[in-house]
Amino acid sequence: MTKKEKNDLGKFCKQICNDHYELLKNTDGNMSYTFNLYANGSYNGQYKKFMFYAELKLNKVLGLITAEEVENAYNMIMSSDEDNFYIAYQIIKHFLKERHKKFGAIMDYKGYDYARNNYTEEILNPADFLTKLLNR
């Protein structure tokens, strides 16, 4: 990955983390704190798999993608093949743009209420975070 590609990935990760932080800041202290660390804190702009997974699951909850599409992209993220990672990155980038187009980037739009209220059950629950994402 070139320096420019790494920089673009860092900016994209920061955008995901800012969105999820805004979504959670008044509801889930632990997860909002985690996303804030990667958006504005000491881990600013660093890539972690949980970010992409959370974005995929958010798009599923909002009806933009299916469970099968989430699973396929997740498998690409977890793959050691750099081409698979790049494809998953492009998929997630596309759906983030679609989400912003349909629901807006501001997280207090009512379309996000269900996702906000059910985040730890539907999007990024602690078991997924620890078993599927943290240690891989």
Please write the tens of the pLDDT for every residue from 107-129: 667 778 888 889 888 898 878 77
Q: Which of 35, 55, 45 is nearest to 9 (CA)?
A: 45
What pLDDT, on the 0 to 100 scale, is given for residue 51? 92
* Model confidence pTM above 0.95: no
pLDDT of residue 133: 65
For the record, the structure tokens of 42 come out as: 């000491």
Q: What pLDDT does residue 126 have?
A: 79
CA angle 31/36/42 to nearest 5° reads 120
Among candidate residues 19, 3, 16, 18, the one with its CA nearest the CA of residue 92: 16
Max distance between CA atoms of the chain, in angstroms, equals 39
Query: Hey, what are 98's tokens?
Result: 């679609």
- The encoded tokens of residue 40 equal 């504005």
**Digit-coded pLDDT (tens) for 16-54:** 999 999 888 888 678 888 899 999 998 988 898 889 999
Supply the range of the domain harboring residue 58: 3-134
* More confident call, 76 vs 1: 76
Please give the tally of structural domains in the chain.
Answer: 1
- What is the residue-averaged pLDDT of the chain? 88
Confidence of residue 5 (pLDDT cuts 50, 70, 90): confident
CA 64 to chain centroid, in Å, comes to 14
Distance CA 50, CA 111 (A): 23
